Structure 1
Amino acid sequence: METTSVVTALGALAHETRLQAFRLLIEVGPEGLPATEIANRLGVQKSLMSTHLNTLSRAGLTSVVRNGRQIIHTIDLSQTRDLLSFLVKDCCNGDTERCASLLDQILPIYDCESDCSIVQ
């Protein structure tokens, strides 16, 4: 991940509502949520939530999937993992074995080829 992409992603997360939405999308996993549901859960006006979700999407942290008439916002697990990897890349003087467990604890790996469950 390029430094400019990291700065963009961190800038997008540097707002309380966007950070809460991002964490909520991580919590629900690959199924995602419609913007209305995210707004309701966070107690935010729907129009403002849409703006915040667009910021997260432009930063590459979330994706949008159309499901019939609904637009579902999902976490981009790959991009999020890349961001976290960038942040801890030189952790423990580059000892990848020690840092791999850190990333695995921070962001679970989803197995979406079968049932989108968290791989232990």
Structure 2
Amino acid sequence: MIAWFTIAQVAVASLAGALCVILGLAGRRPSDLSVGAMALVQVLLVVQIVIAIIAPLAGNPPTGDLLEFWTYLVSAALLPVAGVVWAFIDRTRWSVVVMGVLGLAVAVMVYRMHVIWTIQVA
């Protein structure tokens, strides 16, 4: 994994998560702002998938368990999609809060993926 991209991903996911939680608790229903924030998180996760495929070929292999890393990455990539689908089905303020919690979960998962890739020794 690339350190600066990991920091950017964690920051964006944390900000998107906090924004959605605040909007939801303020009573806002799903909107372009909340769904767009989660879409940005999703785009960064897709870029991370591409990086994870290319990095070992470029001489940056993971030091931890590769299966654990990919399990985190695939799970994290499914969370924003699930949150947006939930928001389209249940158009209440609580669906925005759920998207926020999922954004915060993605931030934690991306940090854990970085630890598996760079620090943890298998």
Shorter-chain TM-score tier: 0.3 to 0.5
**TM-score, length-normalised on structure 2?**
0.36
**TM-score, length-normalised on structure 1?**
0.36
Structure (1/2) with the larger helix percentage: 2
Structure (1/2) with the larger strand percentage: 1
Q: Larger relative contact order (C-alpha < 8 A, sep ≥ 6)?
A: 2
